[in-house]
Amino acid sequence: QIQLVQSGPELKKPGESVKISCKASGYTFTDYAMHWVKQAPGKGLKWMGWINTYTGKPTYADDFKGRFVFSLEASASTANLQISNLKNEDTATYFCARGQFGDWGQGVMVTVSS
Amino acid sequence: DVVLTQTPSILSATIGQSVSISCRSSQSLLDSDGNTYLYWFLQRPGQSPQRLIYLVSNLGSGVPNRFSGSGSGTDFTLKISGVEAEDLGVYYCMQATHAPPTFGGGTKLELK
């Protein structure tokens, strides 16, 4: 069956960087886009952008341009999200979601605290 | 960006009751390709979102048929015909017709 398995929780200090992974299985990785969605504690869902898993081209929502990078390890069917120069407001759960959002990863909680 | 307004924000229901959630868009969600990219999700406590409905009215894989979606243009509705305990959580609508995709603010379904 289709699975998106994300990496584990992260505790970081302001200014540090973090890299989150999303490993896909059960389908051809390059056939479907991969989206990233942010959920701050107790808040709703916010679309961050997506990456074309065939070409590797990323597209970022306006609020996620600059410190956020989507990348692929296509040979490993893995999509990655890297956040640099972390800020307190980056504290959130980050989800990956496939294609038309039919499958989601379990989410990664990133906590930014000094 | 397209704004999706969900009402109510909190919905109290008893088991077996039928309920509806409204999602109104600030722009028509009918795409030039003829599709309307409106989705409904359920996020149970501590879990990732689960897609219930895609393209306004199509039931997602494995989703019980007590869930149904309807609407067009700017007004959309999710109906649950007979709430069950496993249906409790937060419901979100989402549009992907206009970039960037946007989510509604959510409707929390709780037991009365």
pLDDT tens digits along A60-111 = 999 999 999 999 998 899 999 999 999 999 999 999 999 999 999 999 999 9
CA distance B25 to A95: 24
* pLDDT, mean of residues B4-16: 97
* pLDDT, mean of residues B85-110: 97
Q: Number of CB pairs < 8 Å for A and B?
A: 46
B112 pLDDT band (50/70/90 cuts)?
confident
What residues in B contact A62, CB-CB < 8 Å? 100
Measured from the Cβ of residue B66, the count of other Cβ atoms closer than 10 Å reads 13
Partner-chain contact B51 A102, CB within 8 Å:
yes
For A45, the closest of B51, B60, B92 (CB atoms) is: B92
- What is the least distance, in Å, from the CA of B108 to any CA of chain A? 11
What residues in B contact A46, CB-CB < 8 Å? 103
Task: Return the pLDDT at A9.
Answer: 98
User: Distances in Å between the alpha carbon of A97 and those of A22, A105, B27, B60, B98?
Assistant: 9, 6, 25, 15, 18
Q: What is the pLDDT of residues B13-67, one digit of tens each?
A: 999 999 999 999 999 999 999 999 999 999 999 999 999 999 999 999 999 999 9
CA distance A39 to B26: 23
- CA Rg, chain A, in Å? 13
φ/ψ region of A48 (left if φ > 0, alpha if ψ in -120 to 50, else beta) reads alpha
Tell me whether A102 touches chain B (CB under 8 Å): yes
